[in-house]
Each structure stands twice: as structure tokens, then as C-alpha cells.
Amino acid sequence: MQKTIIISNNIRAYRVPTAEEIDISEGSKVTIMQSLGNKYTILFDDNLYRVNEDDNFALGFDNNKLSKTDIVPTSLLIREDLKSCYDPEIPVNIVDLGLIYASDIINEGDVYIIKVLMTLTAPGCSMGDVLANDIKRILHKYTKVKEVQVEFTFDPLWDQTMISEAGKLELGLL
């Protein structure tokens, strides 16, 4: 979906792949290069940027704020929730891309801590903090979640064999 638009408000964005944070002024011309879930990657001044989700409205899209829920999180629910988180360069969610190695739920009485162990497509990838913040925002939809911890590992290193069949199909690798 490539579509050129004029943004209606100032927006905050993260340069891909360096994660350098910038402000893009209202009235700027941008091209939407990737639209997955409620994540948008745009082209601006010959660079790719991931738009801060709170600024989706400036692109003409609903922010799709996550509704809070009293449901107790389970590993299966967490895995499904994380399928709404996309790599800003590769049009596959982080679960099907094989970036999520494990998730643990620690019960502390009536609240929970969720720990996510993940990797990145390359050890030098600067988008890790952006993805970690997406994960935290997604999993804080559970009202009983007190904390979400995201840890990165490169053991084992990610490679294309970790992509699920669904992800490979999406990428045209099957």
C-alpha cells in the first residue's frame, strides 16, 4: 500500500533502521510504505520512518487504542497479542518472523509480570527499543499486568529458518 499524503498534524517518528527520533511537521508530504496492524512505515525525505502509534490520526487513520481487559493473560493470549506487533521493515509480525523466543507470566498475588525473551533480525538493529515499547503497550491492555519486561538475546542468532510457514507464505518464500 503506497499512498502519498499530506500529514494533518505534527508527528513523532523513528528512523528505520537507526531508531533516531524525529518530529515531522504538519503539512509535510509523506508516502505510506507499509501498513500492518496499526503500525505505519512512511517515506519522508528519502528515509523510512516508523510512525509513533499515537500519531496515526495525522496519517488519516484511527489510533485503534487497545481496550483494557480484566482477562488473566495466558501464554497463548500473549502470543496472539504479539502478532499485532510488526517489524518496521519486514511485512511480517514478530511472532511469525520468529523473533519471540519465550514469554513467562509471573503471578504476584492479584497482579502479573510478563517477561518476553526475544531477538532481532540482526544484533546491530537499533529498532529494538521501538519493538520493546510496542510489546509493552500491547501487553499492558491487561488491567492486572503490573509490569512487562522485554529482554533481548542473540543466542541463538535469528535466521530465516525461524520464520513460521505463515510468515514464509507472506514473504513469498514458500
Using alpha carbons, select from 36, 147, 33, 156 the residue that is nearest to residue 96: 36
**Domain assignments of the chain as residue spans, ordered by start:** 3-59, 75-171
Three-class DSSP labels, 45-72: CCEEEEECHHHHHHHCCCCCCCCCECCC
Q: pTM of the full predicted structure?
A: 0.81
**39 — pLDDT class (breaks 50, 70, 90):** confident
CATH number of 3-59: 2.30.30.40
Superfamily of domain 75-171: Fe-S cluster assembly (FSCA) (3.30.300.130)
| Percent of the residues in the chain that have a pLDDT greater than 90, as a whole number | 64
Dihedral of CA atoms 118, 123, 127, 132 in degrees, nearest 10, equals 20
DSSP 162: G
- Which tens digits make up the pLDDT trace of 70-127? 888 999 999 999 999 998 888 899 999 999 999 999 999 889 999 999 999 999 888 9
